[in-house]
Structure 1
Amino acid sequence: MVAPLARELAEAAATEVGACIRPLAVRRIDTQTGARMAVPIPCGATRATKCPPCAERARRLRMWQAQEGWHLDTDPEIVTAEPTAEQLAVIGYRADLESARAAALAENDTAAVTDLDRAIGDADDMVRAAGARGSTRPPGERKPRRVRSTRRRQDAPNLPRLPVAARTVGRTFDTPDGRRYRPSTFLTLTLPSYGRMYSDGSPVDPDRYDYRRAARDAIHFGDLVDRFWQNLRRAVGWNVQYFAAVEPQRRGAPHLHAAVRGTIPRKLLRQVAAATYHQVWWPPHDEPTYSPDRPPIWDETREISCYVDPDTGRPLRAWDDVLDELAADKTAPPAHVVQFGSQVDVQGVLGDTEQAGQCLRYLVKYLTKSLDECHEPDSTSAIAHVDRLADALRYEPCSPTCANWLLYGVAPEHAKAGLVPGLCKGKAHKRDNLGYGGRRCLVSRKWSGRNLTEHRTERREHVLRTLGVVGAAVEQSTPDGERERYTWEPIRPTDPDQPDRLELLLRLISERKRWREQYERARDQVAELPATDDRPAA
């Protein structure tokens, strides 16, 4: 009874060799022979709680990406890639939805048009997720952008503004002995204080700690970071590039670590951080209009279904209508203003130094963990602090589509039946995200000239070149001429041909061990070969 299960043994062995412990099954179909074969593929998880080997592989890839772009001495070239089969399929699906919507409009089918508009919005998200940039909607069909005055707030200092040059590399410095250096920067930005804290991350006085402000600052932290990079580029006069990671402090507030290409005066960086702010032009949401126990209800009896007051039946104000009212009122204040704190840490870093390696390792240190796992609460008061922050986030609106807007008498954008205040599925409301719902890794477009998929392909090609130099069998590659021979389809859980998960795991372990042995043997042989142009770089 105390003996380990076979699945547990297989997962331990997979972790040791770096194989995925939650492999997915896909079916490979040979279009020439009709042969079908179940093939295990890695799950691709980025969190160690789900799959430690896949998360560690993703962390190493991110570290490689950060290293590649940090100390470049020439501007990278951005080459638009050819569309992939996935992108073409998603665009085709989006076009079919557009045709169906036009037919519904011709038949005056309002309900179908509403459903298709939602489906088109989901398809647009799929297009972006597939790696396409820009909008798929014609300019005439896009929402008009609400433009507010760009005049700076009176309580914010002014910033220098220079024309932004196209270059992305920093300055070089020459020493009297003839040596030339091109340093870069490691930058840390934090949010302001919400109350005095103990060293364990708990507040000295929980009753006076500003949990509402902490929650709102965490929700809008990503917008504040975007505004910082815009201000910095205008202040320095060139296209600053960065690789940044968002991590939590022990108190639970997010902060930013960024590798910045080139050197920027410390005084200017602190000046830009102090002058950067983000105004949230949302409806006022300090005092709720409804109770979570009796929120607005969905009324389908109307010509256009909507949320109504549970007592009077009066429809709630639509999201766009409320924003139009705010735009028309020039004296209306923003719902929230988020700014950085006074702590700004700046380090100058030279490439190919131990300090650069330490900074890179620190950048990706916590990427395999969720935000609440980076600093485990080690006291009862610290755990209670996280609980109070989670409570403050529960009914705080996190986006225009958040169900919590119902409590403030506003119908969320793209409102639909089934919205329940306090049960929004947005990332910001999940306890393990501590209010931050954005991406953990923030990389500027001209950082290295390649996106993450291209970096992954580059590393794979390096392995294949190493194997090819010594004539090793490359079992994991498919010749270009053979790629159209196979088609792939997922094997659903209800599929009768669903393979045994333990069998998939053992196959992945075997493949991983065999590939690693082949690569290490080929790498050792390549090291013994004379230097040639065909020899792969180390």
Structure 2
Amino acid sequence: MPDDATLRELAAAKGVCVRPILQHVTDTMTGASRTVVIRCGATRAKVCPSCADAARRLRIQQCREGWHLTDDPPRPETADPDDPAGDGADDDGDQADDETGRRVRSTRRRQDAPDLPRLAVSDRTTGRVFTSQDGKTYRPSMFVTLTLPSYGRVTGEGVPVDPSSYDYRRAALDAMHFPKLMDRFWQNLRRATGYSVQYFATVEPQRRLAPHLHAAIRGAIPRKLLKQVVAATYHQVWWPQLDDPAYTDVLPAWDELAHAYVDSQTGAVLPSWDEALDTLDDDPDATPAHVIRAGTQVDIQGVIAGTPQADRVIGYLTKYLTKSITDPLHDDNDGEAPISAARRAHIDRLADEVRWLPCSPTCANWLRYGVQPKDAKGGMEPGRCGSKAHDRDHLGLGGRRVLVSRRWTGKTLDQHRADRAAVVRAVLAEAGIEMDDHDELPATATTPDGRPRFVWTVTHPGDVDGPTYARLIAHAIAQRQRWRTQYENAKTRAGPASPDLSATTTQAAAPAA
């Protein structure tokens, strides 16, 4: 039997999950029990290349299905009927608090920001139809890339020419608040165009590690208007000032009696989050702690459905979804060579900034600035906030990597996954092949007295009476090859018109590794 490392490589080559989860299922009505193998579902190739590739292909399907629709998709059941845009956006005011009970300081735009047209947003999500001179009709869509501004000159490798003058503080804050800027951009774009613009977007780092956004947009928007919206979009962060921390060596301590953090030397209770914001509200000369804007570099491409360009753009949109932010994914050798000392130092400096800056009102890092985090509790320690925005692997980007508007397809990701499984089942059924019943052990099944019928418990490879990792992976590989053979044979019988969802199709249809 090959060793575990060899089996892992073989499993990855065959599209089999390399970190399968074992669940021991007992039927409380019959007493029968069995071990069920479930894929780990990782989205990063370093964790599980097979599951990460399957997740990326699912996103490719989602992107392709919604991009060039000619009819408006149904509104999701969770959508707000009073929000035709489907983005849950607020008014133009900038919030002092990002959580519930948010405050709004003003609805006036900044003096240094250009005005934008403001139209009533219709429920339409599809773009305009254009007719050429020969009578053909086209419904073009767009591929847009948005960036952040410069923080200092960088080399071709993406590292600062002069690290001492590079604005790492601003770069870190921009990365942390990038999702808010994008929310405001889509809101402004919908109001400027007058229709419910829908998008499929991915967030990736540039060589300099600043996030930028690639977006497939349904419909064609005049380039001049789109650039005007980019230039006019900003987000103000109405937080206590972040210039210099008040505590670096002796940090505030938790006082059980006061149920609050106090100055360790004087015993004075630190201002609460609400008190700090009240101070901002009462100061007519108060300024936001940070203002984030988009960069001037905007790439805009028109795309026609069914063209090779559309396929290339979809591939580009989803190319790096299996990578982490700090993977050297922009190197020509796709990250095989070691990172240079200058690039590593650049990452270190940015990582140090995002580690200590507050990421949200509840962040423990507020203690360094003499403010109690919102909903403060004992045990909080600056530099140890649980948000992934502070991680070296994210460098400020704590939000999602894929951003999809609610009416892109009108379906959830689980529904897209079910669509892929349905295609496989249809092809196999036509060839007289019946796949495994995936609903034979539903977690929602109950006994006549209302208790759960199936009891699921986690087990691990190597447990007593359980399979070893080698046996588990070997079985999964054999099963995978059998499914693949069945599917290929079924397609051959069905003829050339049968669909092919790529080599991961059978994996999408099956819960096992």
Check whether TM > 0.5.
yes
Question: Contact 1:401/1:415 (CA < 8 Å) preserved in 2?
Answer: yes
Which residue in the other structure is 2:352 paired with? Answer: 391
Q: 1:524 aligns with which of 487, 492, 498?
A: 492
Which residue in the other structure is 2:203 paired with? Answer: 246
Give the Å deviation of 1:498: 5.3
Distance 1:183 1:204 in 2: 41
Which residue in the other structure is 2:253 paired with? Answer: 297
Code of the residue aligned with 2:250 in structure 1: it is R
Change (3 A) 1:433 1:482: closer
Question: Contact 1:200/1:379 (CA < 8 Å) preserved in 2?
Answer: no
SS in 2 for 1:159: coil
Distance 1:252 1:185 in 2: 25
Change (3 A) 1:195 1:360: same
Code of the residue aligned with 2:471 in structure 1: it is E
Change (3 A) 1:326 1:211: same
Distance 1:241 1:154 in 2: 29
Which residue in the other structure is 1:504 paired with? Answer: 472
Matched, 1:61 2:58: yes
Which residue in the other structure is 1:372 paired with? Answer: 326
Give the Å deviation of 1:484: 3.4
Question: Contact 1:40/1:507 (CA < 8 Å) preserved in 2?
Answer: no
SS in 2 for 1:232: helix
Question: Contact 2:157/2:343 (CA < 8 Å) preserved in 1?
Answer: yes
1:60-459 equivalences in 2 (<5 Å): 60-80=57-77, 144-291=101-248, 293-300=249-256, 302=257, 304-373=258-327, 374-375=329-330, 376=335, 378-459=339-420
SS in 1 for 2:9: helix
Distance 1:368 1:460 in 2: 22
- Count of aligned positions: 469
Code of the residue aligned with 1:484 in structure 2: it is A
SS in 2 for 1:333: coil
Give the Å deviation of 1:204: 0.9
SS in 1 for 2:495: helix
Which residue in the other structure is 1:491 paired with? Answer: 458
Question: Contact 1:161/1:235 (CA < 8 Å) preserved in 2?
Answer: yes
Change (3 A) 1:313 1:205: same
Question: Contact 1:195/1:203 (CA < 8 Å) preserved in 2?
Answer: yes
Matched, 1:36 2:33: yes
Question: Contact 2:146/2:214 (CA < 8 Å) preserved in 1?
Answer: yes
Q: CA RMSD in A?
A: 2.4
Code of the residue aligned with 2:63 in structure 1: it is A
Distance 1:496 1:228 in 2: 56
User: What is the CA deviation profile of residues 237-273 of structure 1, one whole-angstrom value per residue up to 9, with x for unaligned ones?
Assistant: 0000000000000001000000000000111111000
Give the Å deviation of 1:515: 1.3
Give the Å deviation of 1:492: 4.8
Change (3 A) 1:495 1:329: farther
Distance 1:187 1:206 in 2: 30
Give the Å deviation of 1:172: 0.6
SS in 1 for 2:19: coil
SS in 2 for 1:410: coil
Code of the residue aligned with 2:473 in structure 1: it is L
Change (3 A) 1:230 1:482: closer
Change (3 A) 1:27 1:80: farther
Code of the residue aligned with 2:289 in structure 1: it is A
User: What is the CA deviation profile of residues 436-480 of structure 1, one whole-angstrom value per residue up to 9, with x for unaligned ones?
Assistant: 111000000000110111100111111111111111131253469
Give the Å deviation of 1:331: 2.8
Change (3 A) 1:481 1:65: closer
Give the Å deviation of 1:32: 3.6
User: What is the CA deviation profile of residues 8-27 of structure 1, one whole-angstrom value per residue up to 9, with x for unaligned ones?
Assistant: 12212211211100000112
SS in 1 for 2:326: helix
SS in 2 for 1:247: strand
Structure holding more helix per residue: 1
Question: Contact 2:280/2:286 (CA < 8 Å) preserved in 1?
Answer: yes
Question: Contact 1:146/1:327 (CA < 8 Å) preserved in 2?
Answer: no
Q: Which moved more, 1:145-154 or 1:256-265?
A: 145-154
1:461-500 equivalences in 2 (<5 Å): 461-478=422-439, 484=445, 487-492=454-459, 499-500=467-468
Change (3 A) 1:478 1:338: same
Give the Å deviation of 1:483: 8.0
User: What is the CA deviation profile of residues 182-209 of structure 1, one whole-angstrom value per residue up to 9, with x for unaligned ones?
Assistant: 0000000000000011101111111111
Change (3 A) 1:248 1:217: same
Question: Contact 1:26/1:488 (CA < 8 Å) preserved in 2?
Answer: no
Structure 2: runs of 5 or more not aligned: 79-87, 89-98, 447-452, 502-513
1:16-31 equivalences in 2 (<5 Å): 16-31=13-28
Change (3 A) 1:521 1:476: farther
Give the Å deviation of 1:148: 1.8
Question: Contact 2:364/2:382 (CA < 8 Å) preserved in 1?
Answer: yes
Question: Contact 2:2/2:470 (CA < 8 Å) preserved in 1?
Answer: no
SS in 2 for 1:484: coil
Aligned residues with identical type, % of pairs: 54
Q: Which moved more, 1:56-65 or 1:501-510?
A: 501-510
Distance 2:21 2:500 in 1: 33
Distance 1:477 1:469 in 2: 19
User: What is the CA deviation profile of residues 402-438 of structure 1, one whole-angstrom value per residue up to 9, with x for unaligned ones?
Assistant: 1110010111112122222122222111111121111
Give the Å deviation of 1:5: 5.4
Calculate the TM-score normalised by the size of structure 2. 0.87
Change (3 A) 1:480 1:312: closer
Question: Contact 2:124/2:195 (CA < 8 Å) preserved in 1?
Answer: yes
SS in 2 for 1:258: strand
Distance 2:49 2:275 in 1: 47
Question: Contact 2:442/2:454 (CA < 8 Å) preserved in 1?
Answer: no
Calculate the TM-score normalised by the size of structure 1. 0.83
Give the Å deviation of 1:510: 2.1
Distance 1:498 1:280 in 2: 54
